[in-house]
């Protein structure tokens, strides 16, 4: 099953870097122009131009300054050399610098790291030392290596992790994250998941990667014009990019298990995020529904005491209510009609079939969060959410359809008739003088502000009385 979620775009020049010559800046500018939401970046495959004195000034800096930072965040990575290589000291070999490590990582050449461990031990340094990080965004050589996988591999990764372990810096090195506002909090584990590298995900978790690390930069927020909101957490990223094997590993591995009840800065869990990415197409709905059920079942087997689906975000919405508010009718229908046959997961069902005879069947539905006897119920959200798409269609889904019919037959039809007759009566018989005039003036004002239409007559007017 292929995911309908577009691949994440990583682009081509680090923020705050010195600008190349006009000839070099044309290539870099082309890299910036390809940065589209859901598009593909190819910065990892660019050739490195020769640097020189003329490259200290150029057009790239002015291009970056002229761009709106809100619509074009600083690129996450680049292999375009924007600074002079270090001069080779007389009578000695080139020392290990950030530029040398980043070059080896971008090329995937482990041979260039020969002697690095001895160098670090001699000078009492670590790979997390400030001189080995990009000062503009906090990027380490490990992040650089993961951003430059070729055919899912980079030979420098294992070497770097082994060196970090021998210098007693393994956990800090693995969990080092971006520090700039755009990509703040993104770790090597996030990048490995985005690159769909399961073997590296397993290696990172085994070595102590934080499975609850949150990528909270502006690039990863809901309102980012050029970004990808996936819920900040590694588990949410794996789920939103349709990687069931990674999801299973994160939830079931013997080292550090991801907590699906953890929430991002919006209060959304991994289930909320699956609702967010649903788009009501047939393929997407099927893919998202499978992932949703998979996480629900895995969590139940590992921790049946906590009801994951009942957790609310910062707006007080459960995944079911969020699906209603966003008008995600395909996933909403799946949630209401979800039925598990296995005994150990049967209690996760919202629908239980009692009996079937030919085309006729009888089913029981879980009505929690549905009726108006509960605060902010599903029915209330649909009726009063005038901006919600698919409102009439959602009211036709069972058990909402039967619920509305039952309300109409029991009491709503009588109330409707009573209200209709009261509108036909002359209000002048009940009021006198100025009171009558004020009432009529108020009714006219309300009518002008919210004139009725066909939709409100058959939706708002009919369903509101059922509440």
Domain segments of the chain as ranges: 1-83, 267-376, 399-464
Give residue 264's pLDDT. 95
Give residue 352's pLDDT. 85
Cα 278-281-284 angle, rounded to 5 deg: 50
Give residue 318's pLDDT. 95
For 42-70, the pLDDT digits (tens) are: 444 433 444 444 443 444 344 334 444 45
Band of pLDDT at residue 449, cut at 50, 70 and 90:
low
Residue 218 or 28, more confident: 218
Q: Is 334 exposed, middle or buried (0-12, 13-18, 19+ CB in 10 A)?
A: buried
Q: What is the mean pLDDT of the chain?
A: 79
Residue 356 dihedral angles phi and psi, to the nearest 5°: -135, 135
Least confident of 120-124, 380-384, 407-411: 407-411
Q: Measuring CA to CA, how many Å separate 440 from each of 85, 251, 302, 342, 426?
A: 82, 63, 63, 62, 11
Alpha carbon distance 335, 246 (integer Å):
23
Q: Which residues contact 463 (CB under 8 A, 6 or more apart)?
A: 382, 383, 395, 404
Band of pLDDT at residue 24, cut at 50, 70 and 90:
very low
Q: Are 262 and 212 in contact (CB under 8 A)?
A: yes
As given in the structure block, the two tokens for residue 348 are 């996760």
Give residue 108's pLDDT. 95
For 314-324, the pLDDT digits (tens) are: 999 999 999 99
Give residue 259's pLDDT. 95
Give residue 206's pLDDT. 96
Residue 450 or 88, more confident: 450
Is the confidence at residue 19, as pLDDT, over 50? Answer: no
CATH 1.10.3720.10 is the classification of domain 267-376: no
Is the confidence at residue 354, as pLDDT, over 90? Answer: no
Q: Are 434 and 347 in contact (CB under 8 A)?
A: no
Q: Are 231 and 268 in contact (CB under 8 A)?
A: yes
Give 366-370 contacts, CB < 8 A, sequence gap 24+: 367/399, 367/403, 369/318, 369/320, 369/321, 370/399, 370/400, 370/403
Alpha carbon distance 285, 328 (integer Å):
9
For 361-405, the pLDDT digits (tens) are: 888 888 888 887 788 889 889 988 888 888 889 888 988 888 888
Select the highest-mean-pLDDT range: 148-157, 345-354, 381-390. Answer: 148-157
Alpha carbon distance 258, 193 (integer Å):
14
Is the confidence at residue 220, as pLDDT, over 60? Answer: yes
Band of pLDDT at residue 163, cut at 50, 70 and 90:
very high
Residues 253-278: what's their mean pLDDT?
A: 95
Give residue 450's pLDDT. 64
Give residue 207's pLDDT. 95
pTM, 2 dp: 0.73
Classify 294 as helix, strand or coil: helix
Residues 227-253: what's their mean pLDDT?
A: 95
Query: Percentage of residues in the chain with pLDDT exceeding 90?
Result: 50
Give residue 35's pLDDT. 47
Torsion angle, alpha carbons of 123, 129, 132, 133, to 10: -170
Residues 238-243: what's their mean pLDDT?
A: 96
Query: Percentage of residues in the chain with pLDDT exceeding 70?
Result: 71
Least confident of 138-142, 326-330, 337-341, 426-430: 426-430
Is the confidence at residue 212, as pLDDT, over 80? Answer: yes
Cα 200-202-207 angle, rounded to 5 deg: 95
Band of pLDDT at residue 218, cut at 50, 70 and 90:
very high
Is the confidence at residue 74, as pLDDT, over 90? Answer: no
- Which helix (H) or strand (E) segment holds residue 363: the answer is strand 360-365
Residue 425 or 394, more confident: 394
Classify 368 as helix, strand or coil: coil
Q: Is 176 exposed, middle or buried (0-12, 13-18, 19+ CB in 10 A)?
A: buried
Is the confidence at residue 116, as pLDDT, over 70? Answer: yes
């Amino acid at each position: 099953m292929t995911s309908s979620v577009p691949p994440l775009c990583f682009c081509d020049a680090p923020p705050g870097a010195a600008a190349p010559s006009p000839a070099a800046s044309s290539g870099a500018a082309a890299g910036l122009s390809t940065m589209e939401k859901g598009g593909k970046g190819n910065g990892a495959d660019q050739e490195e131009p020769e640097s020189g004195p003329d490259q200290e000034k150029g057009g790239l800096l002015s291009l970056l300054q002229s761009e709106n930072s809100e619509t074009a965040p600083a690129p996450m990575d680049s292999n375009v050399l924007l600074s002079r290589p270090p001069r080779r000291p007389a009578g000695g070999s080139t020392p290990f610098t950030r530029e040398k490590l980043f070059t080896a990582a971008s090329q995937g050449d482990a041979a260039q790291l020969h002697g690095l461990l001895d160098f670090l031990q001699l000078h009492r340094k670590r790979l997390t030392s400030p001189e080995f990080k990009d000062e503009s965004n906090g990027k380490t050589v490990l992040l650089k290596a993961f951003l430059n996988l070729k055919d899912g591999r980079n030979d420098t990764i294992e070497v770097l992790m082994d060196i970090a372990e021998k210098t007693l810096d393994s956990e800090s090195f693995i969990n080092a994250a971006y520090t700039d506002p755009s990509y703040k909090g993104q770790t090597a584990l996030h990048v490995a998941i985005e690159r769909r590298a399961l073997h590296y995900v397993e290696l990172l978790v085994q070595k102590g990667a934080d499975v609850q690390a949150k990528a909270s930069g502006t690039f990863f927020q809901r309102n980012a014009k050029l970004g990808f909101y996936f819920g900040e957490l590694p588990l949410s990223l794996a789920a939103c990019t349709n990687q069931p094997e990674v999801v299973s590993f994160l939830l079931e591995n013997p080292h550090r298990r991801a907590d699906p009840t953890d929430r991002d800065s919006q209060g959304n869990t991994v289930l909320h995020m699956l609702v967010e990415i649903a788009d009501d197409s047939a393929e997407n709905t099927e893919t998202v529904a499978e992932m949703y059920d998979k996480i629900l079942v895995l969590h139940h087997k590992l921790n049946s005491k906590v009801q994951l689906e009942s957790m609310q975000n910062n707006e007080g919405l459960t995944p079911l209510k969020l699906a209603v508010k966003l008008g995600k009718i395909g996933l909403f229908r799946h949630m209401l009609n979800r039925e598990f046959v296995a005994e150990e997961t049967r209690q996760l069902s919202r629908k239980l079939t009692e009996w079937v005879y030919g085309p006729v069947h009888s089913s029981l539905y879980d009505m929690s969060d549905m009726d108006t006897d509960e605060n902010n119920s599903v029915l209330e959200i649909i009726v009063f959410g005038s901006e919600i798409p698919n409102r009439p269609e959602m009211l036709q889904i069972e058990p909402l359809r039967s619920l509305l019919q039952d309300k109409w037959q029991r009491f709503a039809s009588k109330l409707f008739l009573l209200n209709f007759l009261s509108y036909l009566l002359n209000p002048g018989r009940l009021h006198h003088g100025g009171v009558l005039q004020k009432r009529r003036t108020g009714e006219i004002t309300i009518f002008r502000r919210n004139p009725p239409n066909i939709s409100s007559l058959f939706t708002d007017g009919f369903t509101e009385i059922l509440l």
